[in-house]
Structure 1
Amino acid sequence: MASVLEDPTLERHFKGHKNAVSCVHFNPNGKQLASGSADKTLMIWNLAPKGRALRFFGHHDAVTGVQFSPSGKRVASSSKDRTVRLWTPSMKGESVVFRAHTAAVRSVAFSADGLRLVTASDDKSVKVWSVDRQSFIYSLNQHTNWVRCARFSPDGRLIVSCGDDRTVRLWDTSTKHCLNCFTDCCGSSTFVDFNSSGTCIGSSGADSSLNIWDIRTNKLLQHYKVHSEGINSFSFHPSNNFLITGSSDHTVKVLDLLEGRLIYTLHGHKDVVKSVGFSQAGDLFASGGGDCQILLWRTNFDRKSYHDVLQKHGQRSTPDPPPHLSDIHPRSPHLHHPQDSTVQVSPAVADTRSADPQVIELGQPPHSNMRHRNTGKVSVIENSSLE
């Protein structure tokens, strides 16, 4: 029950982007947060109280996706300018440019070993790239409309993708075949991802729905409809017990996946929430929105329950380590509506603990004549085999 949990708290906010924040991602080391924006820049925020922020110029259009590599030493970004950039997040501001697609690139993600990138695009394709060789490998081409998001499974054997053709597709990375096509979406599918064990996938929709499937049985486990407008992003907690969503209704919601219900509604953004993400440790999560700011939250609600769940599900008949989403009851799909008992958290954003950090700008804005700026180094990798 929500009453026995500790409420999430707003730790601080980050202001520095000049337009909507479209994507956020934590460095696995827990010390940095990356964000991308419609202002065409990538920013790296130091989570230390007085840490400086870095702003990277290079993209010629809105940044749509951002992700740290598993080592935390590189950052990949995707953009509507049809390219993907691979950055070294340092004062040198260096980046490698992948001429990735023939239309806007909507997402970019690393494989768990950091050796590959997967990208999704409005050109209806999903593409896979070699990070070390900095080269294009192959395309996946069965989507019939814009592809909004693509992610590797934790073991790298699968890719999940979704798009405006109202499908979620599961791909085998070795055979390049589409293993399954989920068509339960009532509208454009906006975001997809695997849970940390790789046994379930979630997908969100412009129709405000969230679906969770068990990919071992290809069955729908849970169906939520807790927002009043479309869901733009979600993130599984590392324990797989919780999930956060960001919506165009200006709220972030926290779902308890084991109990199968909404437990928190977080207010704070004054506009559309474009992106949400948990830190690797799960103790923090971030949300970015159309109000040009990033809110950093402390989780709190997972402190006690995770150990309780481990004990509760210690005796299992299946070989999978506990906890697992198949432990939920009821196991049949069920619809969730907002309830008056849901805890509403409305922090005073203006009263957060930190002032805006000092921002160091690296690279030169496109079509700018500004001087005295570190221009950085850029290498270009062409996709010689667009499929």
Structure 2
Amino acid sequence: MALLLSVMGVNIVHINLVKANIADFNEKNHLSDITSQLKINHNHFLASQHNNTSINQPCELVTSEAADNFLFTLKGQHNYDIDSLAFTPDGKTLVSGSIYNKINLWDFEKRQLKRVINAGKDGVNTIAISADGSLLAAGGGFSQPETDKTIKVWNLKTGRMIFKFTGHTQGINALTFTPDGKTLISGSSDKTIKFWNLNNGKLVRTLRGHTHWVMSLAISPDGKTLASAGGAYKIDSDTAIRLWDMQTGKLLKTFPRTPEAIGILVFSPDGKTLVSSTGKLQTNTTINFWDINSGRLVNNILENAVSLIFSKDGENLLTVNSSYAVDLWNISNGKKIKNLIAGIKLDNDQNIGRIYVSAATLHPDGKTLVIGEGGVLSGYRIGIRQISFDK
């Protein structure tokens, strides 16, 4: 069964705890705000801190088929959680980003690193590749005004930066290109969404309506509707999904709020259903299915997904779990069809938060799954597996 990778929120918001200036943050007012916008994988890291586990301490490796049985790995080039992964449409180049200030471009066929791009002082939260594979965009930063809130766009063939967009007042959490490649859309911790013209480099419009961080963006298959969502991990956070007219910027619809912040948004191939993933902890994550026309919640699955991938016919959903599990679900009834890869089983409680999947994407061939690892036990590898999706 061929799969289609829909726009997914692999765009992971980061916390750079290893930078020297983190000690300068006021713990009550600043650090709590930053940690509030962490997505699934970094809650693992905070759990390890709670257990007094230092990132610099030596540790035993966890033996697990899920964590070790890869077709091959790309490793040694990242020093922290791999939070962003994306393929060029031809599948020849894999792009990976981390919280450090570099983006790696891999020759996927040769399994070699071919180029390193400097992303900026506050790392990479999100990357996007244009539909024709010619442009790469990246953004990073924190939810503070003094952070690096620029959006950079490179020519993928030459590696030359062609645009540097400024206008957001806080960090960038989500990026997506329009299908025609003429516009780049950004979502920020400053609560706004901006449209950038890729012909002249100018700001087209700014959408306002969210009252908290914009964490996720998705464009409908017909290119007419933009979905946005986000929030923070506190009770009064704005977690409502909003639908916007792509041509006019008009707010079309606001869905009911969910109990937790939204980290992933994906449209079904037919455009009739929007799927969101919510939750602040891996054990407390829900995948919600929304009817686009009515804005009604029609189904949900309890699953801690790092990635959501629709089947081409839209009848099934593939989820990649932070604990390495890969499952196939029936959309109509919300039941699991089968487990494709078993999750990791940690040898002791101290290893919780020290090895996990932090990002995942599917190769255009529809059968090669690529995951990015996080946690000090992982080695921050990129692991590749062949997946069969036959029922």
TM-score where L is the length of structure 1: 0.69
Contact 1:191 1:203 (8 Å CA) reproduced:
yes
1:28 and 2:112 correspond: no
* Larger Cα-atom Rg: 1
- TM-superposition CA deviations, 1:268-313 (whole Å, max 9, x none): 69624322222334222322231422222323114xx5xxxxxxxx
Change (3 A) 1:248 1:10: closer
AA aligned opposite 1:214: D
Aligned to 2:386: 298
Q: Distance in 2 between matches of 1:51 and 1:248?
A: 26
Q: Does 1:13 align with 2:87?
A: no
Deviations 1:174-220 (A, max 9, x none): 33222222225221111112123322211111240001222134333
1:193 aligns with 2:273: no
User: Number of aligned pairs?
Assistant: 293
1:153 matched residue in structure 2: 220
- Match of 1:60, SS state, is coil
Are the structure 2 counterparts of residues 259 and 12 from structure 1 closer, same or farther at C-alpha, using a change threshold of 3 Å? farther
Q: CA deviation at 1:161?
A: 0.7
Change (3 A) 1:299 1:248: closer
Identical aligned residues as a percent = 25
Q: What displacement does 1:144 show? A: 0.7
User: Residues 238-287 of structure 1: CA distance to partner in whole angstroms, max 9, x if unpaired?
Assistant: 44243333455564444343563232254469624322222334222322
The RMSD of aligned alpha carbons is: 2.5
Report the CA distance shift for 1:40/1:89 in structure 2 as closer, same or farther (over 3 A). Answer: same
Counterpart in 2 of 1:121? Answer: 188
Q: Is the 8 A contact 1:110 1:116 kept in 2?
A: yes
Alpha-carbon distance between aligned partners in 2 of 1:210 and 1:73, rounded to the nearest angstrom: 33
Q: Counterpart amino acid of 2:366?
A: G
Q: Does 1:170 align with 2:243?
A: yes
Question: 1 CA distance for matches of 2:105 and 2:292?
Answer: 35
1:200-211 correspondence to structure 2 within 5 Å: 200-206=273-279, 207-211=284-288
2:88 and 2:100 map into 1 onto residues whose CA distance is: 22
1:280 equivalent in alignment to 2:364: yes
Aligned counterparts of 2:314 and 2:167: Cα–Cα separation in 1: 33
Q: Does structure 1 conserve the Cα–Cα contact (< 8 Å) formed by 2:277 and 2:286?
A: yes
- Kindly tell me: are residues 194 and 71 of structure 1, through their superposed partners in 2, closer, same or farther at Cα, counting changes over 3 Å? same
Q: Report the more deviating stretch, 209-218 or 269-278.
A: 269-278
DSSP 3-state at the match of 2:125: strand
Could you report, residue by residue, the CA deviation over 1:74-107 in whole angstroms, capped at 9, with x for unpaired residues?
1111211212111122354434211141101001
- 8 Å Cα contact 1:287-1:295 kept in structure 2: yes
Structure (1 or 2) with the greater helix fraction: 2
User: Aligned equivalents of 2:160 and 2:307: distance in 1?
Assistant: 28
AA aligned to 2:220 is S
- Equivalent pair of 1:56/1:93 in contact (CA under 8 Å): no
1:235 to 283, 299, 309: 309
**Is the CA contact (8 Å cut-off) linking 1:22 and 1:37 kept in structure 2?**
yes
Consecutive unaligned residues of structure 1, counting only runs of 5 or more, are 1-7, 306-387
Flag the 1:238–1:26 CA change in 2: closer, same or farther, 3 A: farther
**Contact in 2 for aligned 1:74/1:88 (Cα 8 Å):** yes
| Residue in structure 2 matched with residue 309 of structure 1 by the alignment | none
What TM-score do you get using the length of structure 2 for normalisation?
0.68
Q: SS of the counterpart of 1:63?
A: coil
Q: Partner letter of residue 54 of structure 1?
A: R
